[in-house]
Amino acid sequence: MTMKRSRRWFLRAAVTAAALVTLPVRVLARATAAFKAKDTDSLMRELFGDMPIEASDAITLKVPDIAENGAVVPVTVSTDIEGVQQICVVVDNNPNPLSAIFNLSEHCVADVSTRIKIGDSSITRALVKTSDRVYMTMKEVKVTIGGCGG
């Protein structure tokens, strides 16, 4: 009897522990569908629904005009827009255009940098989401394969 009870207790404890471990991952609620989207239009619908998207000069998207190595392209997105909740980086011609989403709290400056892969010359977009609208800026990046110029 004592044995049985302790085994049941152990199982229950194990299940609870497993649930606790997986909990933080669920809280983050990754935008899986948007990352799987194959074109820019459907991923923007997935991410922003019906929110208005407008072109803006207030976003600085720093990417090279010509990237010699498409596997490592530095990207910096910064903006002075108030109340930024999210910054997204999108590369139109990539198999899955959505590269990265940054969810910002008010404790962070709207200025993020990373390095992404660009498969072929493409329009690169930076999208900045506030509580009521989405701002966008675009820039074309040419990728030279081989990297020797010429």
Partner 1 sequence: MSDKPVKIRGRAKNGVAEIKCLMPHPMETGTRKDADGAFIPAHYIETVVCKHNGKEVMTAEWGASVSKDPYFAFTVRNAQPGDIIEVSWTDNQGQSSSGELVLK
Name the site residues for partner 1 (rule: CB under 8 A): 25, 28, 30-31, 35, 71-74, 76, 91, 94-96, 98-109, 111-118
Smaller CB separation from partner 1, 8 or 41: 41
Cα separation, 79 vs 105, in Å, equals 14
First to last CA, the chain: 81
Min. distance of Cβ 131 from partner 1 in angstroms?
Answer: 17
Smaller CB separation from partner 1, 58 or 74: 74
Q: Which of 139, 137, 138, 133 is nearest to 53 (CA)?
A: 133
Min. distance of Cβ 17 from partner 1 in angstroms?
Answer: 16
Smaller CB separation from partner 1, 54 or 106: 106
Smaller CB separation from partner 1, 12 or 58: 58
Min. distance of Cβ 128 from partner 1 in angstroms?
Answer: 14
Residue 91 DSSP SS3: strand
Smaller CB separation from partner 1, 96 or 121: 96
Cα separation, 28 vs 72, in Å, equals 27
Min. distance of Cβ 62 from partner 1 in angstroms?
Answer: 12
Min. distance of Cβ 4 from partner 1 in angstroms?
Answer: 32
